[in-house]
């Protein structure tokens, strides 16, 4: 009795087209190495090729897949290429992609426990698993006063942490009266830009963010933090939030969390630890020292969508006191009231982040952990770190290049000895060649090349070839 389904894709057609798309992705995975890593598209090129007006009537699926190949693909920078060494790892995997697919197919909203209990409970459960897997403090587990939630990104996690910090510091008065320009937040000069963004969004004002200088390893100088806090108190300001980073974006530097944590505890300041890029390493006991001091943190986050084979988005955010976070973010209108919420026996994750709606992201994380097991995840993290150390050795032995910092984990920061201009030209030459993609930063005021090893299918041969290319291209540019 079909009365108005005429335009929908039927389950049978979905099955057919779905197999086509799965095959397309499997083929893409097989041929990705043959594609230029950085897209060569010019600004406006794709838009010029697209029709100015949307289609009045529906089009064949084949036409869409043809445009995917001919128009979209040339405009793609292949983050999943094993020759992608830019920015940060962003390693998807088969089980993760299929988890995302299932989540889209189920199409549930996880805003409340009641709107799909499995969506909430699987998330809480997997996030508790990860506390054990990473050796994080038990205070982040949901069976005490803490708990974890999946956020889209570490930017949003940091914002939520800052908001809870703001409210704790003002006895939940900022929430009601608004900010008054006296709250101060602290990070280092190497901290991710998302902290500045959060400080501006939360109404503290960028002038109330103190960027503490770092030591020779680009780690926050905790004595300078302490003296800055004292100076601010002296000036009648209210220190409320410190962000310590475990693995900075530029160089994967680790801030001295034990010292910073002690200061925060003494001063009653909220400590957020951002381990977005490096946190996954703690899967391996031999790297677990990066968690030192995290037991002093009020909140913590790391990104499975960076280095744990889980496609974007999936940031795991933990708090030690979930009541403070929930009180900061909760609003309960009549249309969301329901018995389980009122019973107090369930988690409603809408009160743990900015958006109200949320998808079933725990599914992909669960499927990744079950596919790899702890053993498999550890194996690949170790392999990436070993490759980074090998590359660092080659650089140390070379005459033309130098290491800028000893690689702690999977990021190698180095430069050609020929100066900033040569390094920038070298990077651009390599990236436009399409065989590898790497990016830069500035450390100590000088251009530094960053070589991030963490894509799913990156093997020794890719790093080896990249190192060859780097040397040869540098020689050509010096001619």
Site for a second copy in 356-375 (CB under 8 A): 356-357, 359, 363, 366-367, 369-375
- Spell 218-247 as b/e; 16+ CB within 10 A means b: bbbbbebbbebbeebeeeebebbbbbbbbb
CB of 251 to a second copy, least distance (A): 10
Strand arrangement, sheet containing 411-416: 401-403, 411-416, 446-452, 439-443
Identify which of 149, 254, 403, 152 has the alpha carbon closest to the alpha carbon of residue 164. 149
Q: CA distances (Å), 226 to each of 119, 222, 238, 458, in order?
A: 42, 6, 14, 42
Q: What span, in angstroms and rounded, lies between the C-alpha atoms of 188 and 311?
A: 29
Q: For a second copy, which residue of 24, 138, 268, 289 counts as binding (CB under 8 A)? A: 24
Q: CA distances (Å), 198 to each of 159, 164, 243, 295, in order?
A: 5, 12, 11, 24
Binding part of the chain for a second copy, among 128-136, 216-224, 290-298, 414-422 by CB under 8 A, reads: 128-136
Site for a second copy in 184-213 (CB under 8 A): 192-194, 196-197, 200-208
Helices (H), 219-303: 222-234, 257-267
Contact predicate 359/99, CB 8 Å = no
Q: What span, in angstroms and rounded, lies between the C-alpha atoms of 433 and 299?
A: 42
Identify which of 156, 125, 151 has the alpha carbon closest to the alpha carbon of residue 314. 151
What character string, x for contact with a second copy (CB under 8 A) and - otherwise, covers 400-419? --------------------
DSSP, collapsed to helix, strand or coil, labels residue 413 as strand
What character string, x for contact with a second copy (CB under 8 A) and - otherwise, covers 298-337? -------x-----xxx--------------xx-xxxxxx-
DSSP, collapsed to helix, strand or coil, labels residue 149 as strand
Site for a second copy in 140-159 (CB under 8 A): 152-153, 155-156, 159
Identify which of 199, 192, 105 has the alpha carbon closest to the alpha carbon of residue 153. 192
CB of 266 to a second copy, least distance (A): 25
CB of 398 to a second copy, least distance (A): 23
CB of 168 to a second copy, least distance (A): 14
Q: CA distances (Å), 461 to each of 86, 387, 468, in order?
A: 17, 10, 10
Contact predicate 390/460, CB 8 Å = yes
Q: What span, in angstroms and rounded, lies between the C-alpha atoms of 64 and 69?
A: 9
Of the pair 263, 283, the CB lying nearest a second copy is at 283
Q: What span, in angstroms and rounded, lies between the C-alpha atoms of 402 and 351?
A: 48
Of the pair 296, 453, the CB lying nearest a second copy is at 453
CB of 197 to a second copy, least distance (A): 5
Kindly report the number of other CB atoms within 10 A of residue 467's CB atom. Answer: 19
Binding part of the chain for a second copy, among 211-219, 287-295, 339-347, 467-475 by CB under 8 A, reads: 339-347
Site for a second copy in 55-94 (CB under 8 A): 55-59, 61, 63-64, 68, 71-80, 87, 90, 92-94
Site for a second copy in 240-299 (CB under 8 A): 249-250
CB of 223 to a second copy, least distance (A): 25
Site for a second copy in 374-403 (CB under 8 A): 374-377, 379-380, 383
| Beta-bridge partner residues of 295 | none
Q: For a second copy, which residue of 178, 236, 285, 444 counts as binding (CB under 8 A)? A: 178
Q: For a second copy, which residue of 66, 69, 70, 117 counts as binding (CB under 8 A)? A: 117
Q: For a second copy, which residue of 260, 273, 301, 346 counts as binding (CB under 8 A)? A: 346
Complete DSSP assignment for 64-119: HHHHIIIIIGGG---TTSTTB-SSS-----HHHHHHHHHHHHH----SSSTT-HHH
Q: Does 430 bind a second copy (CB under 8 A)?
A: no
Q: For a second copy, which residue of 106, 230, 323, 475 counts as binding (CB under 8 A)? A: 106
Q: For a second copy, which residue of 70, 105, 419, 476 counts as binding (CB under 8 A)? A: 105
Of the pair 305, 415, the CB lying nearest a second copy is at 305
Q: For a second copy, which residue of 291, 404, 440, 473 counts as binding (CB under 8 A)? A: 440
Q: For a second copy, which residue of 35, 127, 149, 180 counts as binding (CB under 8 A)? A: 180
Q: For a second copy, which residue of 33, 35, 108, 238 counts as binding (CB under 8 A)? A: 108
Q: For a second copy, which residue of 217, 292, 398, 439 counts as binding (CB under 8 A)? A: 439
CB of 473 to a second copy, least distance (A): 18
Kindly report the number of other CB atoms within 10 A of residue 393's CB atom. Answer: 11
Q: For a second copy, which residue of 161, 163, 290, 453 counts as binding (CB under 8 A)? A: 163
Q: For a second copy, which residue of 34, 176, 286, 399 counts as binding (CB under 8 A)? A: 176
Omega within 30 of 0 (cis) for the link into 415: no
Of the pair 157, 408, the CB lying nearest a second copy is at 157
CB of 200 to a second copy, least distance (A): 5
Q: Does 25 bind a second copy (CB under 8 A)?
A: yes
CA torsion through residues 138, 144, 150, 154, sign: negative
By CB under 8 A, the count of residues binding a second copy is: 172
Of the pair 201, 469, the CB lying nearest a second copy is at 201
């Amino acid at each position: 009795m079909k009365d108005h389904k005429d335009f929908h894709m039927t389950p049978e057609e979905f099955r057919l087209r779905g197999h086509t798309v799965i095959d397309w992705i499997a083929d893409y995975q097989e041929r990705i190495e043959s594609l230029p890593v950085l897209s060569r598209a010019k600004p406006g090129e794709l838009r010029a090729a697209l029709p100015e007006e949307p289609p009045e009537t529906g089009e064949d699926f084949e036409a869409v897949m043809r445009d995917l190949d001919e128009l979209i693909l040339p405009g793609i920078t292949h983050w999943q290429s094993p020759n992608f060494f830019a920015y940060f790892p962003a390693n998807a995997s088969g089980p993760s992609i299929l988890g995302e697919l299932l989540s889209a197919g189920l199409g549930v909203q996880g805003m409340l426990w009641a709107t799909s209990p499995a969506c909430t409970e699987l998330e809480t459960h997997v996030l508790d698993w990860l506390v054990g897997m990473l050796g994080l403090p038990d205070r982040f587990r949901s069976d005490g006063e803490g708990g974890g939630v999946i956020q889209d990104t570490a930017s949003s996690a940091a914002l939520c942490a800052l908001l809870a910090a703001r409210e704790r510091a003002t006895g939940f008065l900022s929430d009601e009266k608004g900010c008054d320009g006296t709250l101060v937040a602290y990070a280092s000069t190497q901290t991710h830009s998302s902290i500045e963004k959060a400080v501006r969004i939360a109404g503290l004002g960028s002038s109330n963010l103190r960027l503490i200088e770092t030591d020779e390893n680009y780690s926050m100088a905790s004595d300078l933090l302490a003296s800055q806090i004292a100076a601010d108190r002296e000036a009648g300001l209210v220190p409320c939030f410190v962000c310590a980073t475990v693995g900075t974006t530029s160089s994967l530097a680790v801030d001295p969390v034990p010292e910073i944590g002690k200061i925060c505890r003494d001063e009653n300041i909220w400590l957020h630890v951002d381990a977005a890029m490096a946190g996954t390493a703690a899967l391996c006991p031999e790297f677990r020292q990066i968690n030192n001091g995290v037991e002093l943190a009020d909140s913590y986050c790391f990104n499975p969508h960076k280095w744990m084979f889980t496609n974007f988005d999936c940031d795991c955010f933990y708090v030690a006191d979930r009541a403070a976070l929930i009180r900061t973010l909760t609003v309960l209108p009549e249309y969301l009231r329901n018995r389980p919420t009122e019973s107090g026996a369930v988690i409603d994750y809408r009160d743990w982040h900015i958006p109200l709606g949320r998808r079933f992201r725990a599914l992909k994380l669960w499927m990744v952990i079950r596919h790899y097991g702890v053993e498999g995840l550890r194996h690949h993290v170790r392999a990436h770190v070993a490759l980074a150390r090998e590359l660092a050795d080659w650089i140390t032995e070379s005459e033309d290049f130098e290491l800028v910092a000893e690689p702690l984990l999977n990021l190698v920061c180095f430069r050609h000895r020929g100066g900033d201009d040569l390094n920038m030209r070298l990077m651009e030459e390599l990236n436009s060649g399409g065989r590898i993609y790497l990016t830069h930063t500035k450390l100590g005021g000088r251009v530094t090349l960053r070589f991030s090893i963490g894509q799913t299918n990156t093997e020794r041969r890719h790093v080896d070839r990249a190192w060859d290319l780097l040397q040869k291209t540098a020689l050509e540019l010096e001619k």
